[in-house]
Amino acid sequence: MKRVSVQYLLFITLSVVCCFSCSKKIDLVPEFSLDGSQPLSTLEQADFVLTGAYKGFLGDGYFNSVPTAVGSVLQPASFSGLPDMMSDDLVETFEDFPNYRKMTEWTYAADELNVQITFANAYNIISGVNIILRDIDAIATADANRAAKIKAQALTIRAMVHFDLLRYFAPNFDRNSDVPGIAYISTYDATAKPARNSVKECYDNIFKDINDAITVFGTTSGSSGGLSKMNVNVAYALLSRVSLYAGQWQQCIDASTRLVDEIPIADMNEFPLIWTDDSQAEVIWAVSFQSINDGTPYENVFFARGNKSLYRPTLEIDGLYDALNDVRYDSYIANVGNFNGIPHAPRLAVIKHRGKSPASPLEGGGFVDWKVFRVSEMYLNRAEAYFQLGNEGAARDDINMIRQNRIFNFPVATETGQALLSVIKTERRKELAFEGQRFFDLKRWNKTPVDRCAETDTPSNICSLSSGSRAWALPIPETEMNANPNMQQNTGY
């Protein structure tokens, strides 16, 4: 059995076996220790467990790329760096140690450690919020407004983490698909051995949790605690993203519109400051990395502290930008030589997440907030949904809004039909580059093949992923298959 450990200011996955076979012990230190099978008795306890869930996003296998404990293995940054490393936006360099090569060459099997870490940490977060949702109504009378905020945040977290798991482990994203998705866990049970729900059932549960969260947020007053905490805008941003994957186009438009009407898009002056945390313009929700002790979200791509470009931008994505006029280019990519006092010959590197408030135009310490949702994504989600519903004029307007705020003397979008769809996809790739989106976008676009074969300066020997490959869906970890007789493996593993 695996012990689920939730600490105040640190949520730790103690091993990489899955969390379905858990003990009931929940540690909350230094304040108290409690048994997960016993109900929470105060809102303070619920808040501590919620803090633990947020810290799970900083933990092994979610948005973190470095170990959170002495002696830990390197972490995959499963939902920050890894989806880009698995795509056609990044390619391995000779500066890399081959820690992630099985992932980025798509040769992983059920015993792959990075897959196990991804699976285990996500379900560990879910276990924590399920404890909150089990008990919160019974302790709400002490402060109904505070309890409602805790409940709404827990619902949003549960929906988001399940959706992130679905993105990796589901064979497809079809809204009504009856193929196995993931096990959607909505109750805390340390002895549970659940089967996988269908993709349709997963969507049903995700949408229910999001809509329940929106309803509960609507009963609250006052802030939930800044951009590092879930609020109703985060729930709508998640609704927009999930609806895009599910092909629920009008729902995607409605959720996106609520946000673009409320939150201004960053202009060309503000935009570069987002990436050093000197501006929060257009940020809807960010996971806060406040020191190197919290870890770093993207150092498995560019290790800023050691001046190592482990994965560099591909020539293809580098060539998509107007390097002179597009403010995104210098914010995302640079030819980096000497850096942080460490000499190196200039080479292409991703500098987007190099660190907070650098002392020079390039240098940084690697820890910087991970921007999970931005208003720009809402424009891009809406543009794609408008196109799918035949409203090409509105889709062009959204693309032009992005370009107007990113490119000097921007080219006005005038395309129609499939040419417009290509523009929408390309603008999305450019805007959301190196934000953990590309692999999943290719997957939802009918598993668009990955082709990095034009790259020659790389130790990687496998450069393409076909649309028919098993690797579009990660394997269910071997540890889970061995522990849970009800679990079904993905085809091909």
Average pLDDT, consecutive stretches of 10 residues, N- to C-terminus, the chain (493 residues): 34 36 41 71 97 90 76 78 98 94 97 95 96 98 97 98 98 98 96 97 98 98 87 98 98 98 98 96 96 89 94 98 98 95 96 82 80 98 98 98 98 98 98 98 98 96 98 98 98 97
Please tell me the distance from the alpha carbon of residue 412 to that of residue 328, in angstroms, as a whole number.
17
Give the max Cα distance, the chain.
64
Please tell me the distance from the alpha carbon of residue 267 to that of residue 270, in angstroms, as a whole number.
5
Residue of 84, 9, 90 lying closest to 51 (CA atoms): 9
pLDDT of 481 reads 98
- What's the gap between Cα 460 and its chain centre? 25
What is the dihedral angle through the alpha carbons of 414, 419, 425, 429, rounded to the nearest 10 degrees?
-80
Domains of the chain: 1-78+104-219 (1.25.40.390), 223-445 (1.25.40.390)
pLDDT of 422 reads 98
pLDDT of 4 reads 39
pLDDT of 8 reads 30
AA identity, residue 408:
F
pLDDT of 73 reads 60
Burial letters for 73-95: b for 16+ Cβ neighbours within 10 Å, e otherwise? Answer: ebbbbbbbbbbbbbbbbbbbbeb
